[in-house]
Amino acid sequence: MSSLRQPRGAGTRRRTGLPDQKAAGWLFLSPMVLILGLFLVIPIGMALWVSFTDWTGRGSPFSSRVSFVGGDNYSALITQEGLSRQDFMLSMRNTFYYVLGVVPVQTVLALFLAVIVNQKFLRGRTFFRTAFYFPSVVSSVAISLVFLYLFTGTGAINRALAAVGIVGPNWLQDPRGVLHLLGDQLGFWNIDAPPSGLASTQVMNLSLWEWMKGPSVALSTIMIQVIWTTAGTFMLMFLAALQDLPTEVEEAAMVDGANRWQRFRYVTLPHLRPTVLLVLTLGVIGTWQVFDQMYVMTQGGPAKTTLTPAYLSYAAAFNQQQWGQGAAIAFILFLLIFVLTSIQRWVLRDGDEPSRRGRRTRVSARPETAVQP
Amino acid sequence: MRTRTGAGRQVAVYAALVVFAVIYIYPFIIQLSTSFKTDAEANTNPLGIWPQNPTSEAFRRLGEEDFPLWFQNSIVVTVIVTVSRVFLCSLAGYALARLRFRGRDAVFTGILAVMAVPGVVLLIPKFLILNYLGIYNTFPALFVPLMVDAASVFIMKQFFESIPPSVEEAARIDGAGTFRIFWSVVLPMARPALITLSILSFQGSWNELGHFIIATSDPALFTLTRGVAQLTSGGLGAGNQFPITMAAALLMTIPSALVFIVFQRYFTQGANAGAEKG
């Protein structure tokens, strides 16, 4: 970033001194500008146009046979009663529970793995780090195939569960909601006869009973898979941050009599704060885009409980030939991720700067507060 | 006292590590062993490590179908994408880091904006342009849009800014042109960054799925990810024939595993380089 501001004066001087840099500069940039412009910037404009039309995929989207329909594609998803809105709301509900489940669990698991792999006495650290990180470098398609096999009704997972006396569900075929099942177990309701107040009240084309379903068993299986796959990447980020933590700080806290948990809570965790926020941000951006697993494993089923906006957008355009609808979903998803990222950037910036400034004072201040009874 | 709690803690840490190592490694062992099992054994004995009647039938059947072609397509696409990303993104990164010219800051702002676009919303736009240009369902459609990547340009720019400009200035005084300085002076110094970028590009293009779904529809133009994804919906008659799907998954994992083992320490850096862009 500093280079943006700093070389102003120097730049002017050099530009006059070395006139060939302008030509060379644009020559060096031209392949990138051409490819990103042609395959990224222009297409986004085209898709924006398509999202306001009824194009069916035949001929050019700019031909005179394609009609401009204004915001119809967007209102069909948000304000109008109908199947489009119902599917879209289902996909939003599914992904909401998906993000809510995956992001915290993968963050905590990654932090946990980083902390135990970072123990000083540990032998074979490289082996364990490699084992946990390896799934991150493997294709999502290959991992999906393995999990499809592990989680079949008579597959490895259910055999292992049977060995300890648990009858596992038919994982990827099971559309029942986890919260519905939980309430049923706890005696709040009967899953086969939902409370009529919840079942009959409709909000945005879905009953309250549907909204509070939680992730289905099938979606939970995909959540387990994604947590398992990505925790390793985030573990590496936490490991890098942990190795940045000066040992003197830990030692100072130890001299002050802080126990292990207090040292973790008041020395390590504040040091990791920027990394935690980064991991949460990347997690939210990544999880809202979930697509590959749905494409390979479930195609949105069973009973649309693994439908996500990304998959719905793809299916609407490429399978149902409703290109305007598909493009509109993509732009809504784009906007949603943009808003969430902006909020988190703001939190990240807010959290990063003071913690950097405060680190020096915290070093001496925190352990003292930590040892108070 | 201290040593005793220490020993207890060590046992707890090792126990946790072993449990997680099993959770992380066992699926790959099942994948490996199932690909040598018969269809019947894969269904009746999914947990067994040693196949009772080891057979390479699954691999033979993959070899008879389009699988070798998909493998070949994946290799060609990955090589082209990796080579061009390394070259074009370092060119652009160098220009953004070192050369002074009007419009440079605007281009860099554009890069940051492009990086903020989530990849998955680009599926429809990319299809639209490929279709519009008439290259949908052709081989170039598989790799041309992937030849440059904004995040890689960003990584290279950051790297070039981190090395001292004095060597380049010496070369410039000796009368070397801008491209010559870039090629013979700067690039050799950038070796670690180039390796990191190669690995990120390899991994990105070998594992890419979304772009390959929307770029072609002809099975002769499938890459591994696209073709193998098809297996689950009964392609090659592999609906419930798990040895075939496990063998396919295994074969597409091997190149990633080899690159990972050889360049492990660069992966660590790569993960964190990717992180900084967020």
Angle at CA B49, nearest 5°, toward B45 and B53? 65
Cβ B104–A25 below 8 Å, yes or no? yes
Q: Give the type of residue at A138.
A: V
What pLDDT does residue B272 have? 58
Instruction: Write the pLDDT tens digit of every residue in A90-137.
Output: 999 999 999 999 999 999 999 999 999 998 888 888 899 999 999 999
Say if residue A6's pLDDT is above 50.
no
Which residue in A has a C-alpha nearest to residue B105's C-alpha?
A: A4
Interface touch A14/B118, C-beta < 8 Å? no
Residues of B in contact with A327 (CB under 8 A): 124-125
Q: Among positive and negative, which fits the CA dihedral A154, A157, A158, A163?
A: positive
Cα(B242)–Cα(A149) distance, rounded to whole angstroms? 7
CB pair distance less than 8 Å for A310 and B88: no
Which is more confident, B200 or A13? B200
Q: Does residue A343 sit at the B interface (CB-CB below 8 Å)?
A: no
Residue B59 has pLDDT above 60, yes or no: yes
Give A-chain residues touching B103 at CB under 8 angstroms: 26
B144 touches A: beta carbon within 8 Å: yes
* Consecutive H or E run containing A196: helix A196-200
Number of Cβ pairs < 8 A linking chain A and chain B: 274
Residue in chain B closest to A159 (alpha carbons) equals: B47
Minimal Cα distance from B225: which residue of A?
Answer: A141
pLDDT at A121: 85
Question: B-contacting residues of A 226-245, CB under 8 Å?
Answer: 228, 232-233, 236-237, 240
Closest CB from B47, B225, B246 relative to A139: B225
Q: Closest to B248 (Cβ–Cβ): which among A32, A127, A145?
A: A145
Q: In angstroms, rounded to a whole number, what is the distance separating the alpha carbons of residues A196 and A209?
A: 9
Which pLDDT score is estimated for A350? 56
Q: H helices of chain B, where? A: 2-34, 39-44, 57-64, 67-98, 104-115, 123-133, 139-143, 150-162, 166-173, 178-180, 187-189, 191-207, 210-215, 224-231, 242-262, 264-277
Tell me the CA end-to-end span of chain A in Å, nearest whole number: 45
Q: Tell me the pLDDT tens digit for each residue of B226-262.
A: 999 987 765 554 557 899 999 999 999 999 999 998 8
Q: Confidence band (pLDDT; 50, 70, 90) for B222?
A: very high
Task: Please tell me the predicted confidence (pLDDT) of residue A355.
Answer: 44
Q: Looking at the complex, report in whole angstroms how far the Cα of residue A225 sits from the nearest Cα belonging to chain B.
A: 11
Reported as a single tens digit per residue, the pLDDT across B70-86 is 999 999 999 999 999 99
What is chain B's alpha carbon radius of gyration, rounded to the nearest angstrom?
Answer: 24
Residue A156 has pLDDT above 80, yes or no: yes
* CA-wise closest residue to B94 among B15, B222, B184: B184
**pLDDT-based confidence at B269, cuts 50/70/90?**
low
Taking CA atoms, what residue in B is nearest to A231?
B24
pLDDT of A30 above 60: yes
CA distance A234 to A228: 11
pLDDT > 90: percent of chain A = 61
Average confidence score pLDDT of chain A: 86
Cβ separation B253–A142 shorter than 8 A: yes
Q: Residues B57-63: what's their mean pLDDT? A: 92
Mean of the pLDDT values across residues A16-42? 85
User: Is the CB of A92 inside 8 Å of chain B's CB atoms?
Assistant: no
At residue A254 the predicted structure's pLDDT band, cuts being 50, 70 and 90, is: confident
Q: Indicate the residue of A15, A39, A47 with minimum beta-carbon distance to B124.
A: A47
Q: Which residues have C-beta within 8 Å of that of residue B148, sequence separation ≥ 6?
A: A31, A32, A35, A36, B84, B85, B88, B89, B92
pLDDT band at A9 (very low <50, low <70, confident <90, very high): very low
**CB of B1 within 8 Å of any CB in chain A?**
no
CB–CB contact A146 B21 (8 Å) = no
Cβ neighbours of A365 (radius 10 Å):
12
Region B215-224: mean pLDDT is 94
Lowest-confidence pick of A166-180, A267-281, B146-160, B224-238 = B224-238
Q: Residues B173-193: what's their mean pLDDT?
A: 90
Note the pLDDT of residue B90. Answer: 95
Among B138, B139, B81, B150, smallest CA distance to B114 is for B150
Dig out the tokens for B104 from the structure.
Answer: 């440079």
Find the CB nearest B249 among A4, A142, A156. Answer: A142
Residue B4 has pLDDT above 70, yes or no: no
Residue A17 confidence (pLDDT): 45
Identity (one letter) of the amino acid at A200?
S
The pLDDT of residue B120 is 86
Q: Which residues of B touch A110 (CB under 8 A)?
A: none
pLDDT of amino acid A264: 87
CB contact under 8 A, B117 and A24: no
Q: What percent of chain A has pLDDT over 70?
A: 88
Residues of A within 8 A of B96 (CB-CB) are 29
Quickly tell me which residue has 């699926």 as its tokens: B27
Question: Which residues of B fall within a CB distance of 8 Å from A291?
Answer: 120, 210
Contact B125 A47 (CB under 8 A): yes
Residue B176 has pLDDT above 70, yes or no: yes
pLDDT score, position A19:
56
3-state SS of A20-32 is: HHHHHHHHHHHHH
CB contact under 8 A, A330 and B46: no
Residues recorded for chain B = 278
Which chain B residues are within 8 Å of A25, Cβ to Cβ? 95, 99-101, 104
Q: CB-based burial of residue A249 (10 Å sphere; 0-12 exposed, 13-18 middle, 19+ buried)?
A: buried
ipTM score here? 0.91
How far is the C-alpha of A339 from the C-alpha of A359, rounded, in Å? 30
Which pairing describes strands A202-203 and A206-207: parallel, antiparallel, or unpaired?
A: antiparallel
* Arithmetic mean of pLDDT, B97-105: 91
Question: Residue B112: how many CB atoms within 10 A of its CB?
Answer: 11
List alpha helices for A37-188, DSSP H: 42-50, 72-78, 83-117, 125-137, 140-150, 156-163, 178-186
| Residue A288 host element (H or E) | helix A269-288
Range A267-275 average pLDDT: 89
For residue A365, pLDDT over 50 is answered with no
pLDDT tens-place string over residues A47-58 = 999 999 999 888
Residues of B in contact with A147 (CB under 8 A): 27
